[in-house]
Amino acid sequence: MEEEDPDIHTTSSNDSNDEVMSEIHLGCPPSHMAPYISRFRLYSPHLNATGDSLGSLCASIIEDKEGDLDVPRRKNRDQPTSCPLLIQHRITSSIPSVGLQVWKAAFLLVDFILHQFLTSSDFSNEVALELGSGTGLVGIVLARFAKIVFLTDRDAEILDNCATNVQLNRELFKCDNVLVRELDWKKSWPPIVESSEMRYAWSSSEIHMAEQASLLLAADVIYCDELTDSLFDTLECLMSRGSEKVLYLSLEKRYNFTIDALDTVANGYLHFLKYLEDEESAEGSAAELSLRSAYFVGKRIDIKQIPQYVREYERGNDLEIWQIRYVRSMTT
C-alpha cells in the first residue's frame, strides 16, 4: 500500500469507546468513518522446489515493481515479482471493533504461511480454521493452496467486512474454498446449528469438517486477558475433538506502565504465557505433566528465519509467532 508511512505508533486506550489506530494505517485518508481499500503487495524473489514463484499464488496475475499488471511471459525468473492483495478496512475503530483494521501480526503470519508454501508442502490441501479473522487477510492468502479455510469472528460488521474481502480477492486467490462463519469464544464449541438463512451460520457438516481441521491460525488476538481466557477455552474444546491440530498464533507484545511493577510490562503477553508449557521444559517434566489431564505446549518460532514477503510493515522486536499444540495425558 504505497500511501502508507511505516513510522506510526498505535494509539491505545483502556476505554472501549475510544478510537484506536493500527500502525499500518498512517497515510490513509483522514475520513475514518467509511471503509478504505488498500492494495498490499506480496513480494517474492524466490522459486520453490517445483519452480513456482509467488506469482503462482495469484492465478498467474502478477505485478511488476511499478505496480502494473504483468502478463506471465517473464523470461527472467530471478526478477522479483509481486502479487496484489486488496483489503477493505477501517482506518480507526473502537477496541471491540479492532477486527476492522489490519495489524502487523497478521502480516507476520502471512509471511510465515508464504514461506511454508515456498519451501515445503506442509499447508497444501489442508482444512484450516482461523480464529479472530478480522479482515480475513491471513485466511485469504492461505486459501490459495489449502483445501478449505474457515474464517471466523463474532461481530456482524466484522464478518460482513471479511466476506467483502473474500469477494475482492476471489478472482486472484481463488477463494471459492473460503467459508466465513460466526464464532463467539464466550460461547461453547460446537456452535449451535442455525437456520441456513442466517448468512454466517454453521451447518452440522461444517462443524464436523472444522473439527477434522489439522491447521488453526490466529493473528493479533492477544490484547485483553478476558478474551485470552475465552480463546483458550475455545481452543481446548476445538483441539480436543476430531483430528490432531496445531495452532500458529502471531502476536505483538504491547506494553503499559504499571504501579505494581513500577515498570513497563506486557501484561497481556505474560497472561498468554501462563497457558503454555514450554516445549523443552515439558519434555523434562513429563512425569509432573502426566498428572494433568491435558495442557497446551508452546514453541516460539524464530522469525529471523522467515523472509519478509509483505513490505508494508516493520517487524521490530515485539512480534512473535508461536506453534501451539494440545496434549492429552496418556493416563486419561
Q: Report how far residue 171's alpha carbon sits from residue 270's, in angstroms, rounded to the nearest whole number.
A: 41
pLDDT tens for the chain, residues 1 to 332: 433 333 333 444 445 568 889 999 887 776 656 889 999 998 875 544 444 556 555 554 445 555 554 444 444 545 556 788 999 999 999 999 999 999 999 999 999 999 998 888 888 889 999 999 999 999 999 998 899 999 999 999 999 999 999 999 998 887 899 999 999 999 989 998 977 678 999 999 999 999 999 999 999 999 999 999 999 999 999 999 999 999 999 999 998 766 665 567 889 999 999 999 987 665 556 556 556 678 999 999 999 999 999 989 999 899 999 999 999 876 54
Other CB atoms within 10 A of residue 137 CB: 27
Q: Report how far residue 99's alpha carbon sits from residue 132's, in angstroms, rounded to the nearest whole number.
A: 7
Q: Which residue has the cell 492461505?
A: 142
pLDDT recorded at residue 226: 96
The letter for the amino acid at 37 is I
β-sheet bridge partners, residue 36:
89
Beta strands at 178-182 and 148-153: parallel, antiparallel or unpaired: parallel
Rounded to 10 degrees, the C-alpha dihedral 20/22/28/29 comes to -10
Give the H/E segment covering residue 324: strand 319-328
CB 145 within 8 A of CB 125: yes
Q: Report how far residue 87's alpha carbon sits from residue 104's, in angstroms, rounded to the nearest whole number.
A: 14
The letter for the amino acid at 34 is A
What length does the chain have? Answer: 332
Q: Which domains does the chain have, with CATH numbers?
A: 98-328 (3.40.50.150)
Q: Report how far residue 239's alpha carbon sits from residue 248's, in angstroms, rounded to the nearest whole number.
A: 13
Q: Report how far residue 111's alpha carbon sits from residue 161's, in angstroms, rounded to the nearest whole number.
A: 22
CB 32 within 8 A of CB 26: no
